[in-house]
Chains A and B, each alone.
Chain A
Amino acid sequence: MSFVLDYYNYWVVVFLMMTGFYIVISANNLVKKIVGLNIFQTSVFMLYITVGKVSGGTAPIVTEGVSLYSNPLPHVLILTAIVVGVATTALGLSLVVRIKRAYGTVEENEFENKDDAI
């Protein structure tokens, strides 16, 4: 039982990652693919933050009377990764808008038919 308690956090995070990954590879609509990509990335962030948590610790800001802090390094890494994620999302969505204008559709199976496939 304690084994499950120790690890269920990781397992749920893995499940969330796979949900996001599934949406990315199986969605037909390009906007939904981007949503899936975001879900995938956010779950990876959760993995890092789960690693950083220290039981009985508190937020890594020096405070009177506190001796145990959670690890600040994963927090720093994820701050960077979140911003990278939103930058990718913005670029991806603008590509989707342009694709809509150029092809008239954002469903993957529809515009593949309009060009010679490479």
Chain B
Amino acid sequence: MAEFINLALLALLALTALRIIFLKDLFSVVMLFGIYSFLSASIFLNLDAVDVAFTEASVGAGISTVLMLGTLALTGRKEKASKHSSCLPLVVVCVTGAVLIYGTLDMPPFGDPNNPAHQHVAPRYIEESLKEVGLPNMVTSVLASYRGFDTLGEVVVVFAAAIGVLSLLGIRRQKDELVADTGLKEHRVLHVIAKLIIPLIILFALYVQFHGDFGPGGGFQAGVIAAAAFILYTLVFGLKRTFVVVSPKFLAWMASIGVLVYACVGLFSMFKGGQFLDYNQLAADPIAGQHYGIIIIELGVGITVFAAMLSIFYAFESQVERSNVQ
């Protein structure tokens, strides 16, 4: 049954991707991309990657699609016909694809538990992580503790993207007289439903943040979901109202503080005499130390991701509102 679902999802994905190549209407392209991302999340779920499915759905089908739509609002819906011949790209793609298929020919068979990928490094994570780190969710143990340095790099990537977008677009605060109260004023139903759903979304984000140790979840997903709540609020009620609640300056501080919180956990371990990001030093009992370390760094991750995603959205949205006013 699982194989059949897999096959069906993969076929749908291939069809979606093919359709995107030939479509000229960019709005449809972005919508198909959202579908592609959601189908990928389903495939990840089918392949037992629950954390990954969660992240792909929220980040890929969520944030990426929102940003692309924001860009389309500024750049236009239609792609013009290209005058380049598509011969060279086709040749390059065929050669690359052929090399990859050649590479697949002696790959280990799909799903075999004796594959080299599942020997040597992974067994310790599966068998020992509950004893060494103390969390049921092995992905969180590896992400936050064993390979915590990678996650620090990831948080820095998010921060770097926020810096980049802010330097390119900036968040323009309009003078009050010039801006009409934007937002979807006429749609009563949206107002009511948004007001009902937004607190639930924020609550869910907090749940995902703290429950990431025991089930799928963690800082990234939580940050994105919390940002989604505020994005929904902005779309329905307008930027001006949202700035009152969460101002851009506050977000800049939060993004920076999140990274600093993460790095300071590492520094604190160093001061206690251990290596950077050695959580065993954080408390008398190593397992308690692991728990403290993971909770604090996940908080740092959640804060930075929330602030960065929302700042990026503010930057795009303020451009859109500016051009609408003009």
Which residues of A come within 8 Å of B, CB atoms? 5-23, 25-32, 34-36, 38-39, 42, 45-46, 49-63, 68-80, 82-91, 93-98, 100, 106-107, 109-110
Contact = CB atoms under 8 A, between A and B. Distances in A.
B229 interface: no
Given A14-B104, A18-B93, A62-B138, A29 B26 contact: yes
B312 A32 contact: no
B51 A79 contact: yes
B319 A49 contact: no
19 contacts: A10-B104, A17-B100, A18-B93, A18-B96, A20-B17, A25-B93, A32-B79, A54-B48, A55-B110, A55-B112, A60-B137, A70-B49, A72-B122, A75-B51, A79-B139, A82-B56, A83-B157, A89-B67, A106-B76
A100 B10 CA distance: 35
Interface of B: 3, 6-7, 10-11, 13-14, 17-18, 20-21, 26, 29-30, 33, 36-37, 40, 43-44, 47-52, 55-56, 59-60, 63-64, 67-68, 70-72, 74-76, 79-84, 86, 89-90, 92-94, 96-97, 100-101, 104-105, 107, 109-113, 115, 117-118, 121-122, 125-126, 130, 136-139, 141-143, 147, 150-151, 153-154, 157-158, 160-161, 164-165, 168-169, 214-216, 220, 305, 312, 315-316, 319
Contacts, number: 283
Contact of A16 (B7, B14, B104, B125): B14
Contacts of A31: 26, 29-30, 68, 71-72, 75
Nearest to B313: A90
B96 A70 contact: no
